[in-house]
Amino acid sequence: MDLPVMPPVRPMLAKPAAKIPPGMNYEAKWDGFRAVVFRDGAEVELGSRSTKPLTRYFPELVEALRANLPERCVIDGEIIITRDDRLDFEALLGRIHPAASRVRLLAETTPASLVAFDLLALGDRTLLEAPQQERRAALADALRDAAPPVHLAPVTADLARAHEWFQQFEGAGLDGIIAKRPDLPYRPGERTMVKVKHERTADCVVAGLRPHKSGPVVGSLLLGLYDDAGRLQHVGVCASFPMRQRESLMRELEPLRMADAAGHPWAEWGEESAHAHSRMPGAPSRWSSGKDLSWIPLRPERVCEVAYDHMEGDRFRHTTQFRRWRPDREPEGCDYRQLEEPVSYDLRRVLGG
């Protein structure tokens, strides 16, 4: 491979904002695997956000990229999987498998697509210093004949349209809106774009904690919601605390600490069979390989309010943000019924531009 922009390349990132800023170009924020695609003739490489190779996990996508991309190019995009007209991140996670036979099977049963939204190089020319507006125009021209599963991300400069997309596209499983300055050069690894994500709140039971890697302070709080059968399901964590707050949380939660997990709603988390029907802390994961997943069980008597963006199945898609304690709420009243569901939206309308 001999391209004007060579791997590895860390993709350009975005910093969060509460509102969609004016005077920019706007795209949907896709919920998939960020990927920088390098093509030089028959050679195709997929680099992840951390620059680790993704190529072997998506053989069907590699073939599609050979058929739809320019002969020599470097493209920034998102690998996604769709199911029932929505993005399916859980299915995407399942594609990262060590067994080649499993990879081939999943390529047939849950094929992936690529949504392209930036062009870093074309032919012998690097576009890293070109303004975003120019790169986008070149990308649209390069992909004018592309067909699914390769898609050109829709874009608009209309702020009102961006607000419409922010509300509508969530129903198809998208994260929010990305805003890019039209004069912005491509800056690998830098947070030079803006992202605006959905935020909602939920009252959750605090049923456990994980210590911080630095010592005996809170690293993350393990959150639960009750299902219709009255079982406390593990739905996610909140983990972003200043160090002083981590220390005070450990002291505050010490009276709820259990000597062991006996009698705890998640007492069976250590048994592999228990993870088949519910998500519990300590579940084995290819993504958490090597991490310390030990946890401290707490009596599920405290309720906190957390902010979240959206759900993935029956749990929070991303780490939540701690907002406040809710001493006025009973843990038994914290169930899934409080969660707001977005209005459904056909993903084909998004991919169709």
Residues tagged active-site = 29
By CB atoms closer than 10 A (0-12, 13-18, 19+), residue 220 is buried
Distances (CA, A) of 288 to 221, 271, 282, 284: 17, 17, 10, 7
Contacts of 260 (CB under 8 A, 6+ apart): 297
Q: Please name the residue that has the structure tokens 């519910």.
A: 278
Return the closest-CA partner of residue 47 out of 59, 33, 61.
33
The vertex-63 CA angle with 57 and 69, nearest 5°, equals 115
Torsions phi, psi for 66 (to 5 deg): -60, -35
Torsion (CA) 52, 53, 57, 62 in degrees, nearest 10: 140
> For residues 237 and 318, what is the distance between their CA atoms, to the nearest angstrom?
8
Torsions phi, psi for 346 (to 5 deg): -75, 115
Burial state string for 120-129 with b = 16 or more CB within 10 A and e = fewer than 16: bbbeeeebbe
